[in-house]
Chain A
Amino acid sequence: MTLEMFFQHFLNALQWGSFYALIALGYTLVYGVLLLINFAHGDIFMVGAYIAFFIASFLLGSYSLQLPFVLDGNTIFVITVIITMVVTSCVGVTIERVAYRPLRKKGAGRLYVVITALMCGLVLENGNLALLGASRKSFPELIEKSIYTIGGITFTNVKILVIVTTILVFILLETIVRKTKLGMAMRAISYDSVAVLLMGIPLDVVIVFTFILGSSMAALAGVLFVTAYPVLEPYMGAMVGWKAFIAAVVGGIGEIRGAFVGGFILGFIEIYVAAVFPSTLRDLIAFAILLLLLSLKPTGIFGIARAQKI
């Protein structure tokens, strides 16, 4: 492998890892607060992508209901991102309200909530299949693509956008969780959700806020994903979601740094394995390495051992 190719793969891996990292952040946020593995998260990512598709198509004037003015691609992209994050957050909060909260109030075991999450994911997938059919949708090209070549390394503006956004999101979330009052409340709930109530912290508000954060990250990941890989299908969230979950566990689930690092580790392993070996071995080697990492440090890279975990 020449140096040039090494850096090209490096850039590819940064982009691919960014998606894992963004989705893993959502898993880790919810787990950090509720100790709940929100298995519907991969499908919320898919829902986000579809919402973005409909909003972008609407803003582009593809439907009979037209806007009175014409927007340029970049503006449409920004508006799409914002509206998608808001709408997808509503979906996330609705799921929490309808599926998880009643169980929590009844004091159901955590296992039941996890199973419920799994069901919610399947409902979203198959609901989409029933509603929109199985045919693929093509995401419109909102940002005009430019291809740059510097020193034999080729990249697009979309690639840079994805990587930079992921890093910014990471910094933002770290700040929210570490520096704000809400973040402090989130951390407190994960320590002791009973004592927190006695301290006058509104438990439900903080949980809803967590779901808003997590779902809007999934929405952001969804928009960026379909901008980079513009084919939408109902099952697009399943595999990526599972892998991002594994990335979050490897990084240490519940830790924001963990999700970020875990996502990039998985992205790098996948790209470099496919670059050196036949790609059939990709998942085999990738997961063997992750298994080894976990057996060396069962709590994940940044994880702290806790008394109870599922």
Chain B
Amino acid sequence: MRKGILLVMCCLTAVIFLISCGPEAPKTIKIGFNIPLTGDIPKVGEGSKFAAEMFKEKVNAAGGIKLGDKSYPLEFIYVDNESKAESATAAALKLINQDKVLGIIGPQSSKQAIPAGEICNNNGTPMISPWSTNPKTTKDRPYVFRGCFLDPFQGPVAANFATEEFKAAKAAVLYDIASDYPKGLAEFFKEAFEKVHGPGSIVAFETFTTKDRDFSAQLTKIVKSGADVLFVPQYYDEVPLIVKQAHELGWKKPIMGSDSWGSAELMNLCGDDCKGLFFSTHYAAAGAQGATKEFIDKYKEKYGYVPDDVGALTWDAIRLMVQAVQNAGALTGDMKKNRDAIKDQLAKIKDFDGITGKMTFNPEGDPSKCAVVVKISNTGEFEFYKSVCP
């Protein structure tokens, strides 16, 4: 018993001693990644990690980032959020409290980015979600930023494109009601389409829930509804099944998607059924120029495939974060001060020249940038078709 008390006392003394030493200024620039390495969309996590690794190697090979008179190497910490909302908040907390990162990149999809954004904002840690397009992610959260355009912008882009390109007067939508991103985008599409063609022009607004594999009931209704175009704002996991089943049930009209289609994995899973379809996205790999082309070539050489939009957006998000760290100047021992300085610098960034387009943050933490409509070519490549700016 007495030994036990002695042990506790020793531990306490040690803890007090450690605390009294005071925090040291960090020796590296630590950035956390809250990404889906397993779960429904592992390819998204892989693309983000590959882009990050590429960036880290490039910077660290050149001696790190110079702040004041000292050079700091980059240190990236990857945490898997399993593509789940609960795990994303846990991952954010771990990165903030345990790993003591300066800022967080990710989560990628809105389903995780919305709850994780809440955690980061409450803990005063800057976060950039490269891929989340739902407005809720950054709304009223000064610490949360994003690297892409928003759904209220993407919805009208898809609606107008369908009207002009396919001469569509009636449209159908099929989306996952249990997921924030498809649900938000489906509603914005409906609003924009009905604004042009009047109420009732969305003849089928059908839903399903995550993990569903059979869509025959919903697609039967859509095929018989007389719609001219089908809008499917889903992830690459469901798109092949939906497109194939639609064709099997006799749908011969165009199908249109959103930026969540733009994964390198889509064509592996979908094959011939997806060829000739369109989707709106952040960048098109085929026909890229300048720094974008350089990034694509390097990535392809290193990992053996053309990077998708997540990879490119993550690259831009890291550059934004590093830019803000550089602008904030030397790191201090006070973590809160460091994080606040980075947040202030992020908000000030103007005309940032990213590989996915020029960005300037508005007070909400959202950049204004252009969208691209991509056509899936007969060889399965994502070809640039049209650029739409706000």
Given contacts A147-B250, A154-B250, contact A231 B217 (CB under 8 A): no
Q: Contact between B43 and A135 (Cβ–Cβ < 8 Å)?
A: yes
Say whether A271 faces chain B, with CB atoms less than 8 Å apart: yes
Q: Which of B38, B218, B250, B269 is within 8 Å of A129, CB to CB?
A: B38
Of the candidates A2, A154, A159, A240, the one having the most CB atoms from chain B within 10 angstroms of its own CB is A154
Q: Which of B213, B247, B270 is within 8 Å of A147, CB to CB?
A: B247
Say whether A136 faces chain B, with CB atoms less than 8 Å apart: yes
Say whether B237 faces chain A, with CB atoms less than 8 Å apart: yes
Among residues of B, the one whose C-beta sits closest to the C-beta of A4 is B224
Q: Which of B209, B220, B241, B271 is within 8 Å of A9, CB to CB?
A: B220
- In the complex, A233 Cα to B217 Cα: how many Å? 23
Of the candidates A4, A147, A233, A274, the one having the most CB atoms from chain B within 10 angstroms of its own CB is A274
Contacts of A64 in B (CB 8 A): none
Q: Chain B 171-203, CB within 8 Å of chain A: the 1/0 string?
A: 000000110000000000000000000000000
Q: Chain A 224-240, CB within 8 Å of chain B: the 1/0 string?
A: 00000111010110011
CB of A297 to closest CB in B, whole Å: 27
CB of A130 to closest CB in B, whole Å: 10
Contacts of B212 in A (CB 8 A): 279
Q: Contact between A230 and B217 (Cβ–Cβ < 8 Å)?
A: no
Say whether A119 faces chain B, with CB atoms less than 8 Å apart: no
Contacts of A67 in B (CB 8 A): none
Among residues of A, the one whose C-beta sits closest to the C-beta of B38 is A134
Contacts of A236 in B (CB 8 A): 213
Interface size, chain B (Cβ < 8 Å): 36
Q: Contact between A275 and B221 (Cβ–Cβ < 8 Å)?
A: yes
Say whether A202 faces chain B, with CB atoms less than 8 Å apart: no
Say whether B207 faces chain A, with CB atoms less than 8 Å apart: yes
Q: Contact between B265 and A136 (Cβ–Cβ < 8 Å)?
A: yes
Q: Which of A12, A145, A229, A278 is within 8 Å of B220, CB to CB?
A: A12
- Kindly identify, within residues 204 to 238 of chain A, every residue whose CB is under 8 Å from any CB belonging to chain B: 229-231, 233, 235-236
- In the complex, A302 Cα to B250 Cα: how many Å? 38
Q: Chain B 12-44, CB within 8 Å of chain A: the 1/0 string?
A: 000000000000000000000000011100110
Say whether B99 faces chain A, with CB atoms less than 8 Å apart: no
Q: Contact between A149 and B207 (Cβ–Cβ < 8 Å)?
A: no
Q: Contact between A230 and B244 (Cβ–Cβ < 8 Å)?
A: yes
- In the complex, A283 Cα to B208 Cα: how many Å? 11
Given contacts A136-B269, A138-B269, contact A271 B209 (CB under 8 A): no
Of the candidates A134, A136, A236, A272, the one having the most CB atoms from chain B within 10 angstroms of its own CB is A134
Q: Which of A156, A229, A278 is within 8 Å of B213, CB to CB?
A: A229
Q: Contact between B237 and A231 (Cβ–Cβ < 8 Å)?
A: yes
Q: Contact between A145 and B248 (Cβ–Cβ < 8 Å)?
A: yes
Say whether A193 faces chain B, with CB atoms less than 8 Å apart: no
- In the complex, A80 Cα to B214 Cα: how many Å? 23
- In the complex, A156 Cα to B273 Cα: how many Å? 15
Given contacts A129-B38, A136-B237, contact A147 B216 (CB under 8 A): no
Say whether B240 faces chain A, with CB atoms less than 8 Å apart: yes
Given contacts A145-B248, A147-B248, A279-B207, contact A138 B217 (CB under 8 A): no
Say whether A102 faces chain B, with CB atoms less than 8 Å apart: no
- Kindly identify, within residues 209 to 252 of chain B, every residue whose CB is under 8 Å from any CB belonging to chain A: 209, 211-214, 216-218, 220-221, 223-224, 237, 240-241, 244, 247-250
CB of A262 to closest CB in B, whole Å: 18
Q: Contact between B247 and A15 (Cβ–Cβ < 8 Å)?
A: no
Say whether A295 faces chain B, with CB atoms less than 8 Å apart: no
CB of A281 to closest CB in B, whole Å: 10
Say whether B332 faces chain A, with CB atoms less than 8 Å apart: no
Q: Which of B217, B220, B248 is within 8 Å of A279, CB to CB?
A: B217
Contacts of A100 in B (CB 8 A): none
CB of A102 to closest CB in B, whole Å: 32
Say whether A16 faces chain B, with CB atoms less than 8 Å apart: yes
Q: Contact between B217 and A271 (Cβ–Cβ < 8 Å)?
A: yes
CB of A183 to closest CB in B, whole Å: 33
- Kindly identify, within residues 276 to 302 of chain A, every residue whose CB is under 8 Å from any CB belonging to chain B: 278-280, 282-283
Contacts of A15 in B (CB 8 A): 214, 216
CB of B242 to closest CB in A, whole Å: 11
Say whether A8 faces chain B, with CB atoms less than 8 Å apart: yes
Contacts of A138 in B (CB 8 A): 240, 268-271
- Kindly identify, within residues 37 to 66 of chain B, every residue whose CB is under 8 Å from any CB belonging to chain A: 37-39, 42-43, 46
Given contacts A141-B271, A279-B208, A280-B177, contact A230 B216 (CB under 8 A): no
CB of A66 to closest CB in B, whole Å: 21
CB of B327 to closest CB in A, whole Å: 37
Say whether B206 faces chain A, with CB atoms less than 8 Å apart: yes
Among residues of A, the one whose C-beta sits closest to the C-beta of B217 is A274
- Kindly identify, within residues 109 to 153 of chain A, every residue whose CB is under 8 Å from any CB belonging to chain B: 129, 133-136, 138, 141, 145, 147, 149
Q: Contact between B220 and A275 (Cβ–Cβ < 8 Å)?
A: yes
Q: Contact between B39 and A134 (Cβ–Cβ < 8 Å)?
A: yes
Contacts of A141 in B (CB 8 A): 271
- Kindly identify, within residues 286 to 325 of chain B, every residue whose CB is under 8 Å from any CB belonging to chain A: none
Say whether A176 faces chain B, with CB atoms less than 8 Å apart: no
- In the complex, A231 Cα to B237 Cα: how many Å? 8
- In the complex, A2 Cα to B225 Cα: how many Å? 12
30 A-B pairs (CB sep. < 8 Å): A2-B224, A5-B224, A8-B249, A9-B220, A12-B220, A16-B214, A16-B216, A129-B38, A135-B43, A135-B265, A138-B268, A145-B248, A147-B247, A147-B248, A154-B248, A154-B250, A158-B248, A229-B241, A233-B237, A236-B213, A240-B213, A270-B214, A274-B217, A275-B217, A275-B220, A275-B221, A279-B207, A279-B208, A279-B217, A280-B207
**Top 9 nearest A-B pairs by Cβ distance?**
A12-B216, A274-B217, A134-B42, A154-B250, A134-B38, A275-B217, A138-B269, A271-B217, A229-B213
